[in-house]
Chains A and B, each alone.
Chain A
């Protein structure tokens, strides 16, 4: 059962008025323009025990992803493909509104939207992850840990997951008959594309990209678009309890695509630098 609980800060009328007043002048409370992102920081490989890892900060929002590639059985309907699992955990230390426990509906939505962006863009060649056709495949676990929440978890988590996957080195499989052993030698996971998501919040009549914590607390609705390296839209998610007009959606799908291309450069640059080391 889904219930609309308040899971964010309470914004008083004074700050709400300040925000709307600034928006009417084309500015946000922190001085950004409507389509400005906060500073994006990408750190590759902080968790050496993982096969791939990345930490992304967008403003104060901080997401850490560890990728583990293990051997498993394929799903019966895709016997010759590897398995991809994306699991997000917004830690109780990340926000006063998070309780310990199994993922709630917001966190599950987050996991599934990020998963969709990776899967539907065909970032990974799932068939190349089969080891013994129909019997043994690589299972790629993308585990997300959110350490600090200040709005726009969708993009922070997505960028961290993509950066971690793009720099993952997994152990080569040695097949002897029906037995699979993993060698010390490692194989680079080669992404076929770099999916990038861009999230927009609607506040009254205004559309702002990369909402921070306060903006998310007052927003009416949210739109996340994910694009592949060719600029094709691969995944979309509308969230929030209000609606977007068709005109807003058509405008934003193009604005977001341009922003995604910019952010892709940041990710690709971090990925390239990490591979040099």
Chain B
């Protein structure tokens, strides 16, 4: 059995129990998409493109009172250790749905009846907790597109390995650890929009893990904010 935490309470990659991997987020990186964001979270590399609001195709799927939100989470064949065939797997289909449901409460869909808003997430390299990284990037891409949002949605996964609660679960910690608990949270509205877990947790373990997740989501929110500000200021630099 792999030992994931050593005597000094350090993890396999040298992090402390509550330490996040380095995160880099940039918006406005694609020419064609209405909004876009690229995130590097540890070794995760994820590109998000947003189109919309746009005409809804097929027309019969259009909603009379709000925009139809569509989301596709897909992993590139080279993104994981064993090459993955390009066709969507059941996991990708489930993640597409829960990512959509994590972002939906933030968007003012009622503003654009009969239209569609499309979110495309492509995981170029995966290394654990890609769904929360995807949600983090997708929020920024939606904001980059100028789609009205009540709040940004920030995500972080917490977990339990070797009996200890940790923040930001990497691939090996997810595979060899006991619990993986991803969370997505809107900090200004104080609403949790994604919550999943696998593995056994006592009541006090859950409370500790959950509070840690919310604290880390707020930290991730600051990164989103800075990325959007950097995009805002970048236009002046280009002009000079």
Contact = CB atoms under 8 A, between A and B. Distances in A.
Chain B: number of interface residues, binned into ranges = 20 to 34
B77 A92 contact: no
Contact of B78 (A47, A94, A148, A149): A47
B43 A93 contact: no
Contacts of B82: 70
Contacts of A66: 76-79, 124
A150 B47 contact: no
B33 A93 contact: yes
Contacts of B122: 91, 93, 145, 147
Interface residues of A, number: 30
A93 B36 contact: yes
Given A67-B78, A143-B83, A48 B31 contact: no
A100 B120 CA distance: 9
Contact of B31 (A64, A68, A100, A148): A148
A238 interface: no
A95 interface: yes
A50 B78 contact: yes
A7 to B, nearest CB: 13
Interface in A135-156: 141, 143, 145, 147-150
> Of residues B32, B43, B47, B125, which shows the largest number of chain A Cβ atoms within 10 Å of its Cβ?
B32
Interface string B43-75: 101011111001000000000000000001010
B43 to A, nearest CB: 7
B6 interface: no
A141 B48 CA distance: 24
Interface in B181-224: none
Nearest to B31: A60
Contacts of A91: 49, 74, 120, 122
B238 interface: no
Given A67-B78, A143-B78, A145-B76, A96 B86 contact: no
Interface of B: 30-33, 36, 43, 45, 47-51, 54, 72, 74, 76-83, 86-87, 118, 120, 122, 124-127
10 contacts: A47-B79, A49-B125, A60-B31, A92-B49, A92-B118, A92-B120, A93-B50, A93-B120, A148-B33, A150-B31
